[in-house]
Each structure stands twice: as C-alpha cells, then as structure tokens.
Amino acid sequence: MTWPLRLRPIAFGGDYSPEQWPSDVQIEDVDLMKQAGVTAVTLGVFTWALLEPSEGTYTFDWLDEIMDRMAAAGIAVDLATPSANPPAWLSTAHPQILPIDRDGRVLGIGSREAFCPSSPIYRSAAVSLARRLAQRYADHPALALWHVGNEFGAHVDGCYCPTSERAFRAWLLARYGGLDRLNDAWGTTFWGQRYHAWNEITVPRRAPMPVNPAQQLDFMRFTNDEFLACYRAERDALQEHAPGVPVTTNFMAPTCRHIDYWAWAGEVDVVSNDHYLTAEDTDNHVELALSADLSRSLARGGSWVLMEHSTSAVNWQPRNIAKAPGEMRRNSLTHLARGADAVMFFQWRASRFGAEKFHSAMVPQGGTDTRTWREVCELGAQIGLLAEVAGSQVRADVGVVWDWQSWWALEMEYRPSVDVTYLDAVRRTYATLWRAHRTIEFVRPGDIPAHLPLLVVPSLYLCAPETAVALRKYVENGGILLVGFFSGIVDESETVHAGPFPGALRELLGLTIEEFHPLRHGEDVPLSPGHQAGVWSECVVPRSAEVIWTFDGGPDAGSPALTRNTVGRGQAWYLATRPDDAGLAALLDIVAAQAGLPRPLDVAGDVEVVRRVSPEADYLFVINHGVEAAVIPGSGLDLLTGTHHQEAVEVPAGGVAIVREDSHPPQLTQEDAP
C-alpha cells in the first residue's frame, strides 16, 4: 500500500465543511487549525449539489479558494468525491436511482446515500464528477489523498429495485454460467424453488417465509460487489487523471456487517476506517482496540488512517453520552498504538443546523473556551511529539479469524439458536485476550499466516473447503488452533458439508457431533474444571481427539466439552460450548501456553499494553483505562513527557505513556517467562 507523502509523519485533523460557514469563519478556521496542530483535513464529502448545481454545470471557484487556503497554511487535503449524496436535481430527473428496500418502499432524499449502487445513471454521474475533480486538482499542492464516496453500504444494505434485479441476474450468470449450476448450488429442489429461466429469479424481497438462504447469501455478495464496482469506477477515473495520488474510501469495520472489507482492502491504496464508541458500554475501549486491530489487519499490518472518530458525544445513539476528561486522548492514542498513522475526527467545527448538530467536534458549539477545545489542542501538540513512531509496525502474538461472509450466513433465519451470534463470539474472545495483554492480528479465512503461534477461530459456521485445507496446513506446520462451536457446518453455497458435523473441520478436529443441543434462555451447564457454560451444548464423539474438559450436567453430561487433536507438529482444539468469562480466560491461557507464549503480564486488566516496532526502535504504549496507577516493566524515554524511565514505567489512572525503549526486549518463551 502507498502511504500519502503529504500525510507524514502522523496526520492530525478532521472532516471540514467550510461550505456551512461564512467567509469570516472560514478565515478564522485556518488560524484555529494552526493553534490545534492540524496538519490534514477531509474536504468535499457532501458537496455534490454545490459543485454541480445542475446537470453539466460546475462551480469549483469556492473549492479552489479553500484548497488554496489549505495549501498556504501547509495543511494537506484528503479530497472527497461527493458521490455519497446525489443532488436533488439528479433524483428528481431520474427517480429510478433511488434505492428500494426489501419491503418495496422507496427510500427518499433529504438525507444521504439515497442511491441504488446498480444504477448506471447514478454511476455515470458520479464518475463524471470524479473525473472533473481529478482534472482540476491533480497537481494541487494541498492534495494528499483521494477519498471516494463515504461509508459505502453503511446505511443501505441492499437495493431491491428492478435495476438491481436485472444486475443480480447478470451477476449470477457470471458466477454460475448456467441455470443448472445455480439450481444445484442453491438447492432449489427444496420447497419446489427450481428455476427454468433467468427472468424467474428475483432479488430476495420479503416473502411469506424465509427466502432460500443460498439466494440471500449470494444477494449479499452481489450487493457488496455492486458497491465495490461504484468505488472502482470513481477510483479509475481519478487515477486516469491523477495517477500519482493515492486513493482510499472510509471503511466502517467492524460495525458495518454487510460489506466484506477483505474484498475491499486490496482495492484501496490506503486503508482508512471510521470508529465511534458505543457510549453506554463501560468497556467500550476494548471494542475500540478491536476496531483498530481489524483496520490494521485489513492493511496487512501496515499503517492506516483513522478517518473519523469523535471528540466527545455523537448524535445518533439512544443516549449521546459525552466523553470524560482525558477519554478522547486515550481513544486517539489507542488507535495510534495499534497502527494508525493519521488521527482524524468528524468533525472540525460543530454544525449549527442539520441532523448532526449535536455531534461533537474539534471546535464545539461553545467555541474555544471549552474543555474539548483545550483537549484537542493538547492532543495535537502531543501527536507532534510522536513523529518518529510513524511507519513502525505493531507486534502481534495471536491470530483471530474474521469472516464477514460467515457472519452473513450465521445470522439468517432458522438457525439452532438466536443466542448464537457472530459478534458475541468474536468480541468475547477478543476481550479476553485483550485483558490478558495479548495483541491480535485478524486473519482472513484461507489466508493463514505462518508466523502466528496461536490462531483462534471463534466462529466459522460457513467454511469453504480451501479454508479447511489452510487451517490443516497451519496445524501440521506446528500451529496451535482453537475452534469455537458451530463451525465448519456449511460450504460457500450454504449447503451442509457431507457426513457428520463439524463437516469441513471433522478430520482436523478428530471428532464428530451427533446432535446440537442449544440451551434455553438463561440455562447454564457445569463443566468439569469447575466453570459454567451457557447458550450451547452438543453431543461430541471423539475419534482421534483426546478429551480435556467434559460437560458435568445438562443434555450432554459426561460428553466432551473441550478436546485436543494432534495433527502433524501442531494441535487442533475444539470448544463445544460457550463458557463463562473465567472459563474462557482459563482456556485461552492454556492454549497460549501450548503455543509457547509468555504468561500474561501481572497488570490490571484495564491497562492496555501494545508495542510498535521498527528497525531503529521499539515503542511501548501503555494506556491506563483504570482508576489506579499502573506499573509496567520497561525502561526508556517517554516521548510525551521527556521522562526517562528506569526499569519500570508508571502510568497514572487515565494516563498514557509512549516509551522509546532502551533496548529491544527479548522474546520470552513460556518456559523462561517470569
């Protein structure tokens, strides 16, 4: 991936909407940006109606002025194509570009993202404007990065209009080549669904009962591909006229369920992501770390852009709780600790009108005599002290498989239990590893890196044969693999793998499953080591696997709850239930020890410890989310305070330390860890 040179070393800024403000405020903005240490802004995200007020009529003068002003101030611009919000004149002249939901309702204008991604009219208009922008600003001294659209697919999870239906049929023809193959893949002999002509196939609109899950799954893939095609079309137009300028679009991982960002990551020059805390979640800093690690993993371990987060409250959650003093700083530096080399906010100045006027900003409604503004300026100054960290990489020790398409398939209708959800499995695993001070690299199914000694698969209901092969190879070569329940069940066509469960993973795990026994709401079952479990139980029959834990009660009393199978030089572990937090922590400690990882640091679980490394130096990040001071072994120069720590780094409650370590710390094994 190509990092934008004008965003070096570490960019700091936010989404800037000067079109909302008179010229005197725009001029004041530049002075305030300098005061806050702003080095980059995003421009033009929702300006289509201003740039092209009528078809083929363009007004760039106002944008020229802003771009020139940014250049004069030395502020880099992430310039957006405004395709996320088509102008009213376009949807009025061509109402067929408006999206239609699954219930047949047309989604109207007055908001944003009101477009069908399959509409050739919409795509043509969006590409035309992108081309004009590239022709005009390709060589502008402020331009650092192109920003195509905004949060593709975040608020429209699919269009069910006639245009989309025709495009879906074409997509299916390209995928399957003929109706016989489609009918076989979709299992259309069930419920008499067999198709004899392409025009019989529809998008999966609301029906009396659940629509064929294979059809639903393909429609999700199709929708992802249509949004990606929109992005590609604009990107290609930009690169035609500005070939040296990197291109991105802002992801929303992991909150956007219906976009497969693994498929998108290779299409951008720079991975960028938006993240917003769930304000009422008391442990929301853990989900923040998950999002940051997933963003870095999409960037294949490289630097990435935190394109949006908030200085304080957002405007769209049920209760928009403001961030506590110091929380914005911890949030920002956590993203940086986990690989972000740009820290950007939505938004620069709080809007006085519109749907997001209660969304926080770098310059809040109260102006510069506010705590938020003072914290923004302090953060900007501190990021300026961290230039040498730019380009260093995060050191991860545990892999976690993440798969959007398995998520799609798992949460359709008629599954064994509504309590089995994808995010619950992944987030619980991640949170437990986070509290043990492990650093996570997320892994794409079928693309398993050999360097990670431990790989956890919290949930993989959909498991393609090639994924099973990749997991087996990982274990044969010495890896330690832990697989969660209800994994390996169906293939990419939503067809159950032949033979007993767990299907594609049966031989690797060395067991079969006779029957699933989902538990009643609130029901718990005891496990042999003294832990409790809930949600799920199943009748496991070990073949080559050895039994480690058993169910001590419930429908599968006496049956295996945890097994281990030796394959080649490695081990494949299987967990047949959802243990309580203590049980999950104990299990992850066991497999970490099997993988040769050092024992967890003896530090409170609300203290975050991450390392970024480069050939020149190692950087220890300690972020204390707790209410008591924390002491971490280590020595070196604290880049934020100038303090040189001897042997230990003490971080006050709510504080952050970023230490250039005196020497590269040795890599401990389980045997020689203290």
What value does the mean pLDDT take over residues 39-46?
98
Contact at 8 Å (CB) between 12 and 39? yes
| Domain contains 575 | yes
pLDDT at position 666 over 50: no
Within this chain, do residues 579 and 623 fall inside the same structural domain, yes or no? no
Within this chain, do residues 522 and 582 fall inside the same structural domain, yes or no? yes
Nearest to 426 by CA among 562, 282, 297: 297
Within this chain, do residues 554 and 634 fall inside the same structural domain, yes or no? no
Within this chain, do residues 648 and 548 fall inside the same structural domain, yes or no? no
Within this chain, do residues 427 and 403 fall inside the same structural domain, yes or no? yes
pTM (2 d.p.): 0.96
- How far apart (Å, rounded) are the C-alpha atoms in residues 445 and 429? 17
Give pLDDT tens digits for 278-321.
999 999 999 999 999 999 999 999 999 999 999 999 999 999 99
User: 10 Å Cβ neighbour count for 184?
Assistant: 14
Within this chain, do residues 546 and 618 fall inside the same structural domain, yes or no? no
- How far apart (Å, rounded) are the C-alpha atoms in residues 540 and 648? 48
| Domain contains 31 | no
Of the candidates 537, 571, 594, which is a domain's last residue? 594
Contact at 8 Å (CB) between 544 and 563? no
Provide the domain count of the chain.
Answer: 2
Domain encompassing residue 427 = 398-594
Within this chain, do residues 560 and 632 fall inside the same structural domain, yes or no? no
Residue 605, pLDDT score: 84
pLDDT at position 668 over 50: no
pLDDT at position 669 over 80: no
Which residues are registered as beta bridge partners of 106? 100
Interhelix angle 284-298/327-337, rounded to 10 degrees, is 30
Within this chain, do residues 460 and 588 fall inside the same structural domain, yes or no? yes
Residue 667, pLDDT score: 44
Identify the CATH number of the domain in which residue 494 sits: 3.40.50.880
Within this chain, do residues 439 and 417 fall inside the same structural domain, yes or no? yes
Contact at 8 Å (CB) between 660 and 672? no
Q: Give, as one character, the DSSP assignment of residue 462.
A: B
Give pLDDT tens digits for 72-115.
999 999 999 999 999 999 999 999 999 999 999 999 999 999 99
Identify the CATH number of the domain in which residue 622 sits: 2.60.40.1180
| Domain contains 45 | no
User: What distance lies between CA 384 and its chain's CA centroid?
Assistant: 27
Within this chain, do residues 621 and 583 fall inside the same structural domain, yes or no? no
Residue 1, pLDDT score: 65
Residue with tokens 């390709």: 138
What value does the mean pLDDT take over residues 651-656?
97
What is the percent of the chain with per-residue pLDDT over 70, rounded to a whole number?
98
pLDDT at position 672 over 50: no
| Domain contains 206 | no
Supply 589's token pair. Answer: 């400690």
Give pLDDT tens digits for 371-397.
999 999 999 999 999 999 999 999 999
- How far apart (Å, rounded) are the C-alpha atoms in residues 447 and 461? 17
Supply 315's token pair. Answer: 């405007």
Within this chain, do residues 446 and 532 fall inside the same structural domain, yes or no? yes
pLDDT at position 156 over 50: yes
- How far apart (Å, rounded) are the C-alpha atoms in residues 356 and 314? 8
Catalytic residues: 151, 308
| Domain contains 515 | yes
Beta strands in 2-91 (DSSP E): 11-16, 40-43, 76-81
| Domain contains 499 | yes
How many C-alpha atoms does 244 have within 13 Å on its Cβ side?
Answer: 8
Of the candidates 565, 594, 623, which is a domain's last residue? 594
| Model confidence band, residue 26 (pLDDT cutoffs 50, 70, 90) | very high
| Domain contains 474 | yes
Within this chain, do residues 560 and 537 fall inside the same structural domain, yes or no? yes
pLDDT at position 670 over 90: no
Q: What is the mean pLDDT of the chain?
A: 96
Residue with tokens 């001029």: 27
Give pLDDT tens digits for 339-359.
999 999 999 999 999 999 999
| Domain contains 622 | yes
Of the candidates 540, 563, 594, which is a domain's last residue? 594
| Model confidence band, residue 664 (pLDDT cutoffs 50, 70, 90) | low
User: 10 Å Cβ neighbour count for 324?
Assistant: 10
What is the percent of the chain with per-residue pLDDT over 90, rounded to a whole number?
96
